[in-house]
Amino acid sequence: MERPKRRQAKTEAADFASAGGPAIILVRPQLGENIGTAARAMLNCGLLDLRLVAPRDGWPNVKALNAASGADAVIGRARLFDTVADAVADLNMVYASTARGREMVKPVLTPRQAAANLHHGRAANTGVLFGPERSGLNNDDVVLADAIIEVPLNPAFASLNLAQAVLIVCYEWCAAAQEAAPERLPAGRSPAASKKEILNFFNMLEGELDSRDFYPTAQMRPKMVSNMRTMFQRIQMSQQDVQSLFGIVKSLTRPPPGRTSGEK
């Protein structure tokens, strides 16, 4: 039996989620839209475990579902709790995301450092607390956490939208989950040109330029040729690129049809 495509995509999206990913715990969130956008950001990053502590407008929330833009896998399994203590009860390691410093003596980490800890730490079940939109976490919430996450931003304008803060923490977790990806060119690219093919092009181009007195003086020719070759080699030509360049130069050296001598 074939599953419908959309259903299939959702299943795969859920499959990407790692069992080791942190729970995202929204404490007394106010706007359903922000819950939905946070859920979308979680699934973007392969996280599924959303926990809600006393959301202002109750649960379920249709605005949250709409804003989730298809992240139903997260919204559908979100769990509701009365208190932060209940929400973190099964976790071994909890971080509190805050915008402002606290007096408490707890380690303060960037999202990147926290992501590294979440991956390399020995804690099995981890979670990150996010406070209400207007006020952030209060001290009673933060005291339940093992460490604090602060996003290093513009110190004079550091207050992130709730879903944006969730995104950065999830994104760093996701980025840490993937090995440093080397820079790549898209697949399907024509094979790299051989040096011989490239030199054939250079010889042809330089020959055409020779016959047109391109070089102001003979002394300047070697330096100018060297500069041109250096410039063109930055293209890192494929075989297709060499063909294109041959075609361009061939076309340019033909007089335009209908252009008579003397016309310019």
Site for its own copies in 114-143 (CB under 8 A): none
- Which of 139, 178, 217, 219 is in the footprint of its own copies by CB under 8 A? 178
Q: If you count them, how many residues does the chain have? A: 264
Residue 30 vs 110, nearer CB to its own copies:
110
What is the DSSP-derived secondary structure letter of residue 124? S
The answer to whether 196 contacts its own copies (rule: CB under 8 A) is no
* Torsion sign across C-alpha atoms 80, 76, 134, 127: positive
Which one, 92 or 236, has the nearer CB to its own copies? Answer: 236
Out of 92, 159, 203, 226, point to the residue binding its own copies (CB under 8 A).
159
In DSSP notation, 70-96 reads: T-HHHHTT-EEESSHHHHTTT-SEEEE
The SS3 call for residue 128 is strand
Nearest distance from C-beta of residue 167 to its own copies, angstroms: 5
Query: Per rule CB under 8 A, is residue 257 in the interface with its own copies?
Result: yes
Choose the binding region for its own copies from 50-58, 119-127, 137-145, 172-180 (rule: CB under 8 A).
172-180
Which amino acid makes up residue 12?
E
Which of 151, 197, 221, 246 touches its own copies (CB under 8 A)?
151
Q: Is 192 in the site for its own copies (CB under 8 A)?
A: no
What is the C-alpha to C-alpha distance for residues 30 and 134, in angstroms, rounded to an integer?
8
37 lies in the binding site for its own copies (CB under 8 A): yes
Q: Which of the ranges 49-57, 90-98, 124-132, 203-211 carries the binding residues for its own copies, by CB under 8 A?
A: 203-211
Cα angle for residues 96, 102, 104 (degrees, 5° grid): 85
Tokens 């007096």, residue located: 103
Our finding on whether 213 is near its own copies (CB under 8 A) is: yes
CB 27 within 8 A of CB 130: yes
Give the count of beta carbons closer than 10 Å to the beta carbon of residue 123: 15
Taking contact as CB under 8 A, which single stretch among the options 56-64, 75-83, 118-126, 149-157 is the one that binds its own copies?
149-157
* CA–CA separation, 241 and 190 (whole Å): 8
Residue from 54, 80, 144, 228 binding its own copies (CB under 8 A): 228
Is 200 a binding residue for its own copies by CB under 8 A? The answer is no
Q: Measured at the alpha carbon of residue 243, what is the angle toward residues 237 and 248, in degrees to the nearest 5? A: 105
What is the C-alpha to C-alpha distance for residues 169 and 80, in angstroms, rounded to an integer?
A: 21
Binder of its own copies out of 10, 35, 75, 145 (CB under 8 A): 10
Q: Using CB under 8 A as the criterion, what x/- string covers residues 57-76 for binding its own copies? A: ------------xxx-----
Query: Among 168, 173, 193, 201, which residue interacts with its own copies (rule: CB under 8 A)?
Result: 168
